[in-house]
Amino acid sequence: MAYNPTAIKLPEASAFERKVTGRQTNLYLLHNSVGMQVAITNFGSYLVGALVPDKKGKLTSVIIGFDNIDGLLKQESYYGATLGRYGNRIADGKFTLEGKEYRLFVNNGPNSLHGGKHNFSYRVWEANQIDAKTVTLEYLSEDMEEGYPGNLKVKVTYQLTDDNAITITYEATTDKTTIVNLTNHAYFNLNGEGNEDILNHVVQIAADNYTPVNNTMIPTGQIAPVKGTPFDFTIPERIGKRIKADNEQLKFGNGYDHNFVLNKREEHSPVATVTGDKSSIKLEVYTDQPGMQFYTGNFMPGTNILRGRVKDKMRTAFAMETQHFPDSPNQPHFPSTVLKPEEIYKTQTIYKFSV
């Protein structure tokens, strides 16, 4: 089929002006000198959308989402949300820290997912637009909110650069020892929002290993080589090529929904590169995090109406959630997610677009 990206625009700011739990929500629009545009809301610190030029210079909507806040309020698929206090899963919704057991809300089979019931994506954050390219969002997660210890002060800075990159900086401090794992759950379709599935997008991930899971999507604890498996994206491959392979891990995830153990790397080398087969738009992901959840939208519900009046059908977008490994608090040999009062949590992820 001919490539025909729908001319989707970013939402109107007024469509996000609301009172949620008595607090004002807004839309913050960023733009750079070469025409890229990004929209962010302080409801859930969501990355609402991004328009980037395709090979013909036509602005293409590469992050799927809603054109008003009502859509965001009723979905549960985290379209562009900031995930916290702990992105991804914690087994049985419990962990032990300094000898004390903590219990979390169980919202995903037997496990806790993305911080529990009223996680960061449901909170109204304090926003401050610094300039045309920068907005900061702050949130105080109180001691024992959703079962996590410590008052955690969180700050997320979204910055658009003139080379078409969205830089996301996460900072946090706590007054008691706690655990923290922050990420963003943007869903990308590089052929343009509404342009069918992402199975022909080509992906490369700099990961020689991944963390296999059990049937409830909790890591088994093994760090397994990708070589010889459908998880080998060390050389570029189409998403759809092996997604239906006879492989237990793909069955558990209903496709790719796994944490990749990112290789040791130079500071300026991407951990992942994805190219839209129709648009030639390339996404490069840079991060200082040890892992990345590559999720191919296998559980997208197909019931939400997105911008462009299309439904959020299975595999019409993918996510690259940079992170510490799922269930790290219960797996001592994984890199630690513990944050102590005397420490500062600071990490950065960059999503850079080019043609």
Question: Footprint of ligand BGC on this chain (CB under 6 A)?
Answer: 77-78, 88, 114, 217, 257, 293, 295, 299, 321
Least distance (Å) between residue 301 CB and ligand BGC: 10
Alpha-carbon separation of residue 52 from 37, 44, 55, 193, 322 (angstroms): 7, 23, 10, 12, 21
* Spatial distance between the Cα atoms of 139 and 23, rounded to a whole number of angstroms: 13
Q: How many helices (H) and strands (E) does the chain have?
A: 2, 28
Which of 77, 249 has the CB closer to ligand BGC?
77
Which of 21, 216 has the CB closer to ligand BGC?
216
Which of 30, 217 has the CB closer to ligand BGC?
217
- The pairs formed by 6-9 with CB atoms below 8 angstroms and a separation of 24 or more are 6/61, 6/192, 6/193, 6/194, 6/195, 6/308, 8/51, 8/61, 8/192, 8/193, 8/194, 8/307, 8/308, 9/51, 9/61
Least distance (Å) between residue 127 CB and ligand BGC: 24
Considering the candidates 145, 146, 193, 321, report the single residue annotated as catalytic: 321
185 is catalytic: yes
Burial class (CB in 10 A: 0-12, 13-18, 19+), 4: exposed
By beta-carbon distance, which residue lies closest to ligand BGC? 299
Considering the candidates 185, 201, 258, 324, report the single residue annotated as catalytic: 185
Place of tokens 């052929």: 191
Least distance (Å) between residue 166 CB and ligand BGC: 19
268 is catalytic: no
Which of 88, 289 has the CB closer to ligand BGC?
88
Least distance (Å) between residue 176 CB and ligand BGC: 27
Query: Which active-site residues does the annotation give?
Result: 185, 321
